[in-house]
Amino acid sequence: MSRYRFALGPKWIVSHLFVLAMIVTMALLCNWQVNRLHEKRERNDQITARAAEPVAEISSIIGVGERDGSDAVRFRRARAAGHYLTDEEVIAGSPSLDGAPGSWVLTPLRTDDGATVVVNRGWIPNGGGLEAVPEAYRAPSGPVSIVGLVQPSQTEGNFGPSDPGVKDEPSLGRLARIDVGRLDDQVPGDLLPVYLELQSQDPAVAAGDPSLPVAPALDEGPHLSYAFQWAAFIVGTLVFYPLILRRRAREIEREALMAELDEPDPADEPAPGDPRLDPVTGT
């Protein structure tokens, strides 16, 4: 153990603490990736299970004010028939498609049974200059029947853009996200607390209409490979750092041995009268 006494020096203690902090950080990152993988798998199972359920009328699976129940019907396929409220259309978010910037087109749909649900009709190009839905992408004015994927309203996080309140801006043409609650502030009547991602429509979606939202992908993402990478970094650190200490210990022993070899041996010093000494100077 004495050969590693150098490792108790101040600079080495700092090094140990740094390596320990790195190992803890990598372990936390590895665990985070594993948790994200489990979340992805649970999400995929949820999508698969709910896609197998029969298509239901949207107003039969959730009602106005049932925001807490939105997660229970997420990814359900729902049907709605009625008329689009074309005067209440807005654009929202800033999604990209094939690298091009754009916006979602949100159109409230007043159903035949009196409910109103927001429909995400799809993506349109928007380099930042649009503040409302262009005329070319307006919804049809006649009766429609649609099938869409139920999604909960998006909420504002700690970061990112926010929308002005209804008192500051009563009617917005552009929202920062698909915020059903904010849209409810400016649309006549009460909106259902979810929105539908359009999958099919009768009359059919035309070539010049917004591009339909892409169905959620059933992939696990890179989380498993990232977890393995962080685990490999931890193992590598636990292996190589002791090797570094061992190498330094050997260097110190080698330096001490060389110093001993370079130091003159007192037994080799000539004594007075030794014939090797200069008779004049005595050295």
Hey, which residues does 143 pair with through a beta bridge?
83
In sequence order, what are the residues at sequence separation of 6 or more whose Cβ sits closer than 8 angstroms to the Cβ of residue 82? Answer: 109, 110, 111, 112, 143, 144
- Report which of 60, 116, 61 is spatially closest to residue 84, judged by C-alpha positions: 116
Q: How far is it, in rounded angstroms, from Cα 131 to Cα 41? A: 38
Question: pTM for this one?
Answer: 0.76
Q: Scan for tokens 């699976």, then name that residue.
A: 61
Per-residue pLDDT of the chain (283 residues; tens, 9 = 90+): 578 888 899 999 999 999 999 999 999 999 999 999 999 999 999 999 998 899 999 999 998 878 777 888 999 999 999 999 999 999 999 999 999 999 999 999 999 999 999 999 999 999 888 999 999 999 998 999 999 999 999 887 666 677 877 777 778 999 999 999 999 999 988 999 999 999 999 999 988 899 999 988 888 999 999 999 999 999 999 999 999 999 999 998 888 888 878 766 665 556 565 665 556 555 5
CA 249 to chain centroid, in Å, comes to: 44
Are the CB atoms for 112 and 82 separated by under 8 Å? Answer: yes
Domain boundaries, the chain: 2-40+223-259, 53-202
Please check whether residue 154 is in contact with residue 134, taking contact to mean a CB–CB distance below 8 angstroms: no
